[in-house]
Structure 1
Amino acid sequence: MKVEICVTSADAAKIAEQAGADRLELCAELAVGGITPSPGLLQAVRDAVQIPVHVLIRPRSGDFTYTEATFAQMLADIAYCRKLGFEGIVTGCLKSDNQLDHDRMRLLAEATGELHLTFHRAFDRIPDWKQALLDLQSLGVQTLLTSGHARSAEEGLPRLQALVKSAECGIMPGGGIRLSNLDAFLNKGFEAVHLSAISKFPEEASVDLPLNTPGLLREGIPLLPDAELIEALIAQLRSDLK
């Protein structure tokens, strides 16, 4: 069973490689579940490590239903990752009712080409997991990252074991895996385990003017600007300039 470490920087990638990780999942903004890394971060990690790196292609936080423009961005990001020589892509696409978006996943799989394709934890939102598994395998998905439709992989272990028995692709538990519960996942037929391995949180320095906005964190429909509000603001600004 392989150990896949989720990293968000070149420094983290080097630490994981030196500690013996089998491969990395590279993303940005782990606090929101991960999004696509920037070109600079992609290049830095490509230059920093030798072990396989699978890149998360998720253009924003929130749900997994994307507009045409955002989906085009995903395809462009995959093309760039292939150009840099990464070994795998981690991605996923759902419809607004949380069913698998089969047509778009086919396009993502075609764009991934010969690279290793992992479908990420969007799987845990799909109601009919048995049919979704068959569909994903037919599209060429090689690894399924999932918590077993539970808040953590440990809670979802019964479903994870059922997936192993049903799947032809590899099953990779992820979500709350740590040293203290690793034994529960051993010798169960899993391809790999997925974790960030962050065990120590440095004490935060006092910040008088924090830049984060916790109220903007959303798991569902993405936040968009209000066109009427923008128009009203611009109208007022122009009025004041007269």
Structure 2
Amino acid sequence: MIVEICAPNYQSAINAEIAGADRIELCAELAVGGITPSSGMIEQVIAAISIPVHVLIRPRSGGFCYTREEIEIIKKDILFCKKMKCAGVVVGLLNKDFTIDSQSMKELVSLAKPMHVTFHRAFDWIPDQKQALNTLIDLGVDSVLTSGKEVSAEKGISNLVELKEIANNQINILPGGGINSDNAILFKEKGFNQIHFSGTLIQDDQHPEKLSMNSPLLLRNEYVPISNIELIRSVLAVIRE
């Protein structure tokens, strides 16, 4: 069974290889579900470890419906990963109705090849996963990361098994979400050939006790933080009088 570790920083990537993982999904900021890591991190991780590196390509937190400009950013990040000889990229684009943005995904898959392409857990926001799975097969996507549309892969196991049967080896079903040492064997017993988890343990860091840099308001899927023109102008108006 292939074990993929979601590594949100350089040290996590190093630890994953030391622990015996088969590959990593490199990202940043797990608190918001992961975003694209910096080019510096990608380059340094590629140089430091020998197991395959799949890079999450997600330009921002929030939902998965992107503007044309954001899709251009995604394309540039994919090309950088190809230049760095990454083994794969992990990406997912949806329409406003939560169906797959097929046209954009077609462009991205074509651009990414011959790298492995995984459609990430945006898949779990799709109303009709069975139809979506066939769409991804037609698009040439190699894997889909999913919890079976539940809060954890363990709770979604029946859906995952059904998706694996529909896939019929035409696309890899990669269970992910809440997998740990207590339930990992379940996925092996159900015939899955790979699993995805982070294996993270919170490590203390130095910080002033009463001054947090976190904003709980921004840690919500329904919000995309965007600088507001009028708010900026209101401040400029005060200081430029």
Q: TM-score, normalised by structure 1?
A: 0.94
Deviation string 1:31-87 (CA, Å, 9 cap, x unpaired) is 111100101100110111001010000001110011111110000000000000100
Number of positions where the alignment pairs a residue of Structure 1 with one of Structure 2: 238
Q: Which residue of 1 aligns with 2:211?
A: 209
1:85-125 CA-to-partner distances (Å, cap 9, x unmatched) read 10001000001111110001001101111111100000000
The residue matched to 1:3 in structure 2 has which SS?
A: strand
Could you tell me how far 1:203 is from its partner in structure 2?
4.4
Q: Where does 1:115-134 land on structure 2 (aligned, <5 Å)?
A: 115-134=115-134
CA deviation after TM superposition for structure 1 residue 230, in Å: 1.7
SS of equivalent residue, structure 1 residue 159: helix
What is the aligned partner in structure 2 of residue 142 from structure 1? 142
Percentage identity across paired residues of the two chains: 47
Shift of 1:204: 5.7
Displacement of 1:19: 1.2
Does residue 181 in structure 1 map to residue 198 in structure 2? no
Q: Which residue of 2 aligns with 1:15?
A: 15
Name the counterpart of 2:156.
Answer: 156
Task: Show the counterpart of 1:58.
Answer: 58
Alpha-carbon shift at residue 221 of structure 1 (Å): 4.3
Other-structure match for 1:78: 78
Structure-1 separation of matches of 2:97 and 2:222:
12
**Does 2:55 correspond to 1:45?**
no
Task: Please give the TM-score of this superposition, normalised by the length of structure 2.
Answer: 0.95
Distance of 1:181 and 1:188 partners within structure 2: 12
Alignment partner of 2:153: what SS?
coil
* CA distance in 1: counterparts of 2:71 and 2:61, whole angstroms: 14
Question: Which has the higher mean CA deviation after the structures are superposed, 108-117 or 219-228?
Answer: 219-228
Amino acid at match of 1:83: K
Matching residue of 1:197: 199
CA RMSD of aligned residues (A): 1.3
- Match for residue 93 of structure 1? 93
Match of 2:237 in 1: 235
Higher mean C-alpha deviation, range 67-76 or range 4-13: 4-13
Q: Give distance in 2, aligned partners of 1:105 and 1:146.
A: 17
What residue identity is the alignment partner of 1:208?
Answer: K
What are the Cα deviations for residues 165-195 of structure 1, in whole angstroms up to 9, with x where unaligned? 0002111100000001112111323231000
Structure 1 residue 67 corresponds to structure 2 residue 67 = yes
The residue matched to 2:189 in structure 1 has which SS? Answer: coil
Q: Which runs of 5+ in 1 are unaligned?
A: none
Q: What amino acid sits opposite 1:121 in the alignment?
A: R
Structure 1 residue 201, shift from structure 2 partner: 2.5
Structure 2: 5+ residue stretches without partners? none
Is 1:29 aligned to residue 25 of structure 2? Answer: no
